[in-house]
Amino acid sequence: MTSSTLGTPPSGWVNRHVLGFGRHSLAVAQMEIAKIGREPTELLTRAIQPALWLIVFGQVFTRTRAIPTGTMRYLDYLAPGVLAQSVLFSAIFYGLAVIWERDLGVVHKLLVSPASRSSLVFGKAISAGLRALAQAVIILALAAVLGVRLRTDVMSLMGVALVVVLGGALFSTFSFVIACLVKTRERFMGVGQVLTMPLFFASNAIYPLSMMPPWLRTISALNPLTYLVNALRALMIEGGEGTAGLGTDLLVLLAVFLVLVGIAANLYEGIVR
């Protein structure tokens, strides 16, 4: 029995704070990922929803050409939107798990550990991002089957994966913040449900901004989902491009994500009081 490690923090500032943050985030993420692998049916049932959109909505509108998407085929236009939608939907109810963990007592245990709050939030966000990625694989496969003109080079695929993870992390942290604010499952369901659909419809996921009434255009410019859709469109589709440029999209997503992590880390402690 060595007592040498009793309560001694890892030595060195960098080791303690920077690497510690990484280690702790990773530990949390790893456990969350272990859980995803155990519920493959959930991944599949959640993939039904986007599949319906792609097949029903996409196919018909591609034929009728009722939505003006310029040179792009509508199905190609829609696929990134549907992918973004599935990222949003799989992440937005993440807060329920946070409330559930509080009701059980798991949160108490995490909060008394030496891991920083931000590393806990970050780890959970990354795992939510990877959960979204698992779903993205299913949707991309489906899109390929439906004949969407996907880019298949490694760089693009990696870019898509990165953006999907970032998007999942962003919306799950958003959900985390809401959970810390409303604190009960019932209110969370109410608020979460009320947010999801408007976020989806007030974005350029299924129709271009030019088609929207002006007030809706304003809202969609403030909607992070729009930037997620833009980035995916640029990375995923042959000849696809966003409206604001890939760099801007990524910067906006990253900035919003980091701000949300900061807010969530600050609110996290309050959930057990």
Partner 1 sequence: MSEFELPVRPAVLTQALTRRFGELVAVDRLDLEIASGIIFGLLGPNGAGKSTTVKMLTTLLPPSSGRATVAGHDVVREPAAVRRQIGYVPQLISADGALSGYENLLLSAKLYDVPRKEQAARIDDALQFMGLTDAARAMVRTYSGGMVRRLEVAQALLHRPAVLFLDEPTIGLDPMARHAVWERLRESRTRYAMTVLITTHDMDEAEQLCDRLAIMNGGRLAATGTVAELKQRVGPSATLDDVFAHFAVGVITEGGSYRDVVNTRNTAERLG
Partner 2 sequence: MTAPEGSPSPALEVEHLSVAFGATRVLDDLSFRVAAGTSLAIIGPSGAGKTVLFRALIGVVPSTGTIRFAAGTRIGYVPQKLDLQRDLPLTGLDFLNARADVSGVPSTDVTRVLNLVALDSRFAAQPLGTLSGGQFQRLLVAFALMGHPTLLLFDEPTAGIDEPGKEGIYALFSRLQAEEGLTVLIISHELSLVYRYADTVLCLSRWRTFLGPPLDILTPEHLQEAYGAPVRYHHHESRDTD
Partner 3 sequence: MRQCATTITNRVTPTDLLLLVAMAAAAGLIGSVTVMRRMALASDAVSHVALPGVAIAILLHVNPVLGGLAALFLGSLLIWALEHKTRLPTEAVIGVVFSAALAIGSMLASGEELFAALFGGAHAAGRIELLFGLAASAVVIAYVMRARSRLVIALVSPELASASGIDVSQTNLVFLLMFALTVGLGLRFLGVLLMGSLIIIPAVTATFLAHNLRTLQTASVALAITSTLAGALLAPRLHVEQGPLIIVVAASLFVVALVTRSVTRSARSGNIPGGGRELR
Residues that bind partner 3 (CB under 8 A): 42, 45-46, 48-49, 52-53, 56-57, 60-61, 66-68, 89, 181-183, 185-187, 189-191, 193-194, 197-198, 201, 206, 210-216, 219, 273
Burial label, 270 (beta-carbon count in 10 A; 0-12, 13-18, 19+): exposed
Contacted entry of partner 2, partner 1, partner 3, none for residue 238, CB cut-off 5 to 8 Å set by kind: none
Q: Which of 23, 117, 151, 183 binds partner 2 (CB under 8 A)?
A: 183
Residue 66 touches which of partner 2, partner 1, partner 3, none (CB < 5 to 8 A by kind)?
Answer: partner 3
State in angstroms the smallest separation of the CB of 21 from partner 1.
Answer: 12
Least Å distance between CB 186 and partner 2? 5
Output the CA angle 93-94-99, nearest 5 degrees.
100
Among 186, 213, 222, 273, which residue sits at the site for partner 2 (rule: CB under 8 A)?
186
From residue 65, alpha-carbon distances to 9, 204, 210 in Å are 63, 17, 15
Q: Binding partner of residue 10 among partner 1, partner 2, partner 3, none, CB under 5 to 8 Å per kind?
A: partner 1
Cα 16 to chain centroid distance, Å, stands at 29
Decide: 43 and 138 in contact? Cβ < 8 Å: yes
Distances (CA, A) of 82 to 52, 61, 75: 10, 14, 10
Comparison of 26 and 189: residue with beta carbon closer to partner 3: 189
Distance CA(127)–CA(51), nearest Å, equals 23
63 interacts with partner 1 by CB under 8 A: no
Asked if 185 interacts with partner 2 (CB under 8 A), we say yes
Helices (H), 105-184: 106-111, 117-145, 154-182
Shortest distance in whole angstroms from residue 7 CB to partner 3: 28
Residue 8, Ramachandran bin (φ over 0: left; ψ between -120 and 50: alpha; else beta): beta
Q: Please identify which residue in 12, 40, 109, 194 interacts with partner 1, judged by CB under 8 A.
A: 109
Please state the closest distance from residue 229 (CB atom) to partner 3, in A.
16
Cα gap 264→266, rounded to integer Å: 5
Under rule CB under 8 A, residue 191 binds partner 2: no
Give yes or no for a contact between 178 and 192, defined as CB atoms under 8 angstroms apart.
yes
Residues that bind partner 2 (CB under 8 A): 183-186
